[in-house]
Chain A
């Protein structure tokens, strides 16, 4: 069951394939690593390799960069074994308060094919 974590980023790191992150007992095989402000003991990451996930992972890195550059709250879903401080994430998202959250449904219009 994935766990959600949110916060401002304190660290965003990209490293070579296979160099890993963390001590042997809590190591994650990832290339992109992030940490949240106030949680220096925890780290989260994902692989960024030439594989079928590469387009999505590139996009995830772009979102992390946007969040880092703008000091926005970033949210992630991750998996981590019990007792581990480092987890592998599978989702990244940014949110903003709705500017006009109750626009009427009338804003739906038919688009031209």
Chain B
């Protein structure tokens, strides 16, 4: 097996949008640049990336084990979320990272140090407070250097400020306010009498003695923690280089403040004034605020600030809004989060060409932009594979091409018709694009959620249905002629009476387990016009119960009113119909189907918080074929509701009390997994009885490191179990994904890791299992780590197609069939008359042709040897050419004694 990054790249993406709207890189949260402008690091939701050419090209110091699924290499950064970085000015291999918002029960958030250029890391400090036996770990969001000593650093860690004077070997904490939270810190040079240090969080504090003691500034200005989206970034507090009695602060609400403090030894508070904010360039968006002092046109001291959509510069201090100028160009993606300047950076101006423009590196929702001409022009970085993927639809025609499409946060969507060799812009242009789905048995169709399509159609949203005109996957790229836009139901209203979606065809519900397609099971044909299920909301979402709706004629739905049908069964001219009675709980908003088109079973849950803000009971209900009423299966009607420990759990004795996530095998309606409050449960009888799946639980919780209910991460939908995939032909084959990584079982009971999140610093958001392709593959959509692919999956061979290999084993099956009838499914067909299975190669088939041709004598001879080995139970050595996923052509038969 191999793990491959198959994300779009600058080399293979032909986008249709401007670079400010779509990039092959996704969000970064912070950036650091060495004083000489050569080394750069970016932090975000996928750990730390590194550039050795001043930010132009990037690589990720992945920590993949020697074998897929193996233990993560020692020294890997254990958590993904990085909010600030600092490069040692004398040795750019030494870098510090502020790691926060970790979901483990015992958080590993803290200050990390690498001495080898982000290859390996060591936690050098963690902020903790233990109260009443409960230990709280502080959010580390800001690292501050001082201008006169590369060994001295300050770090704000929510609970305290920590300082080191020995390069991170030892740390001393001081608490500005035991009742407050401190998220930002800056420090000036050492002066007689002490060093100025400023901190901000729930208040502003200042120190004149190097952060040993603190004074609270009475000014009512707070500054929030470094954000994952809109809000303040780690650079939102700055000390003025030429005067360490002056600080600047830009809050998440875009107000810009300047605090001037009297020179020491005065301990008086600062005089704060609000400066004019920059003009809002197109409205605020989801960037982070920062204020970075630098050298402006003509060498004038200047400030560079973010309005959360773009970056502006002004000579210190701006007197009016018009003093600000936009310093980006059209290559810069919207929503900046950080800006770093080399020591020799000078901004160019209309009448000022700097002799040494130096370098500026900007990180935003589209990755990194670099300028080397004083901010006149910016270029796009490459190699930064940080797209934030919602989920992935994969359409593979047996023996043919694989089409892939996915939506991203803030970077629209991407489509490829050739397995990722070439990428285009997806047809839906939602900015924050949404989910897409397909039935592996029907690769000519793709369904894509388009909740922002047709803005005039307030609150309704659409589904983009792509149907190919031939046997190949449909074209999901922009300007596709395969596209049909299917309107959603009429808008419902939220708790405030505002229009909102009238159905759950939005990624919000995907994140909690909604799967909209009834998949085709083995032995049945796909529905010609698909098989789509959704929950229709009417009235106030979360107050009025929803109705499960189904359509096997999706392409015929022309108006929102088509969803308001009273039909309760499918039939001719029926566009959509109600399934079962009204849903039994008004907060139910997730549905999954199983069992195929003829008689599906439906499972519904109410785990997601609704648009009204209400949280459901996390129950699970089921509607079996022919049933007249919804049956509640979690919590169940009887039986113990918890177990003391996995070790003592008696199968069937315990039941989950909640289903914060559930996943039903779409091909086997009796197989259901539930993430409960205490354990991962599995039912093999449709919810009648449950057992704890200790093996899966051990994997997805990383041995108990992550609790069943995740809190405190960057993603409110984060979970140890975000997605599961199943195989229509292999009952025991399953794949699961969650915050700890991606895991697999081939027998349904014993799970093993495919890729641990710590190995590549990823956060899986969803997985898609392509069992049609040869080789079979799992695609992993991640939060800001792009699109990863693991393939081939067992039992597929690892060696190349066409290669000559050998195996020795006992023949377990010897078969001869008529010419041309062959062996195997269409996607892995073996065109042979003699078929051999050997016990050393499970699920593989070997064949040779036995026909009236020149090879007939050889074939007769090989068949004779095969019969001898079979009849005498002797091992046989087969030498073969790999011709398919699990099929091979026999070229030699050797009978061993």
Contacts and interface: CB of A to CB of B under 8 A. Distances in A.
A111 B867 contact: no
Interface in B785-834: 794, 797, 799, 803-819, 821, 833-834
A62 B851 contact: no
A109 B816 contact: no
A101 B812 contact: yes
A56 B870 contact: no
Contact of B812 (A62, A98, A102): A98
Given A63-B814, A92-B816, A109-B806, A52 B851 contact: yes
Given A70-B871, A96-B873, A56 B816 contact: yes
A78 to B, nearest CB: 11
A96 B850 contact: no
A56 B818 contact: yes
Interface in B521-537: none
B842 A93 contact: no
Contacts of B841: 107-108
A66 B867 contact: yes
A56 B813 contact: no
Contacts of A63: 814-816, 867
A92 B833 CA distance: 10
Nearest to A46: B818
Given A54-B852, A108-B805, A95 B813 contact: yes
A60 interface: yes
B836 to A, nearest CB: 10
A80 interface: no
Interface string B882-897: 0000000000100000
A60 B381 CA distance: 64
A107 B821 contact: no
Secondary structure call for the A interface: mixed
A52 B819 contact: yes
B788 to A, nearest CB: 23
Nearest to B840: A103
B863 interface: yes
B834 A59 contact: yes
Interface in A18-69: 46, 51-60, 62-63, 66
Interface in B826-878: 833-835, 839-842, 850-852, 856, 859-860, 863, 867, 870-871, 873
B329 interface: no
A60 B818 CA distance: 9
B805 A93 contact: no
A98 to B, nearest CB: 4
Contacts of A82: none
Given A93-B835, A94-B813, A55 B860 contact: yes
Contacts of A91: 815-818, 821
B805 A94 contact: no
Chain B residues touching A, range: 35 or more
B727 interface: no
A92 B839 contact: no
A105 to B, nearest CB: 8
B813 to A, nearest CB: 5
Given A94-B870, A100-B839, A60 B816 contact: yes
A96 B870 contact: yes
Contact of B811 (A57, A96, A100, A112): A96
B562 interface: no
Contacts of A101: 812, 839, 842
A109 B856 CA distance: 28
A56 B812 contact: no
Contacts of B799: 108, 110
Nearest to A70: B871
A73 to B, nearest CB: 11
B879 interface: yes
A3 interface: no
A5 to B, nearest CB: 14
Contacts, number: 119
A12 interface: no
Contacts of A108: 797, 799, 805-807, 841
Nearest to A112: B804
A56 B818 CA distance: 6
Given A56-B817, A56-B819, A90-B818, A102 B850 contact: no
Contact of B863 (A62, A110, A111): A62
Contacts of B880: 111
A101 B809 CA distance: 9
Given A66-B867, A111-B804, A99 B839 contact: yes
A109 B809 CA distance: 12
A55 B819 CA distance: 9
A98 B799 CA distance: 24
A113 B804 contact: yes
Q: Which of A91, A92, A99, A111 has the most CB of B within 10 A?
A: A111
B816 A93 contact: yes
Contact of A66 (B805, B808, B840, B870): B870
A83 interface: no
Contacts of B842: 101-102
Contacts of B815: 63, 91-94
Q: Which of B794, B816, B842, B879 has the most CB of A within 10 A?
A: B816
Most buried by A among B850, B851, B892: B850
A97 interface: yes
* Most chain A Cβ neighbours within 10 Å, of B806, B814, B879: B814
Contacts of B892: 111
Contact of A62 (B794, B805, B852, B867): B867
A59 B832 CA distance: 13
B810 A99 contact: yes
Nearest to B894: A111
A56 to B, nearest CB: 4
B809 A55 contact: no
Contacts of A94: 813-815, 870
B850 A56 contact: yes
A93 B816 CA distance: 6
A97 B804 CA distance: 28
B804 A55 contact: no
Chain B CB within 10 Å, residue with most, of A62, A96, A97: A96
Contacts of A54: 852
Contact of A103 (B811, B839, B863, B873): B839
A107 B804 contact: no
Contact of B817 (A66, A90, A107, A112): A90
A66 B871 CA distance: 7
Interface in B100-155: none
Contacts of B850: 55-56, 59
A109 B815 CA distance: 25
A113 B804 CA distance: 7
A59 B818 CA distance: 10
Contacts of B839: 98-101, 103
A71 B241 CA distance: 94
Interface string B759-799: 00000000000000000000000000000000000100101
Given A55-B859, A99-B839, A100-B839, A93 B818 contact: no
Given A92-B816, A94-B813, A110 B804 contact: yes
A109 B873 contact: no
Contacts of A96: 810-813, 870, 873
Contacts of B871: 66, 70
Contact of A55 (B803, B807, B833, B879): B833
21 contacts: A52-B851, A55-B856, A63-B867, A66-B870, A66-B871, A90-B817, A93-B815, A94-B814, A95-B814, A96-B870, A100-B809, A100-B840, A103-B809, A103-B840, A105-B794, A107-B809, A108-B797, A108-B807, A109-B807, A110-B799, A110-B806
What are the 7 A-B residue pairs with the smallest beta carbon separation, nearest first? Answer: A93-B815, A98-B839, A111-B806, A91-B817, A103-B840, A111-B879, A56-B833
Given A53-B818, A94-B870, 14 more contacts: A62-B867, A90-B817, A92-B816, A93-B814, A93-B816, A96-B810, A96-B870, A99-B810, A107-B809, A108-B805, A108-B807, A109-B805, A110-B799, A111-B806
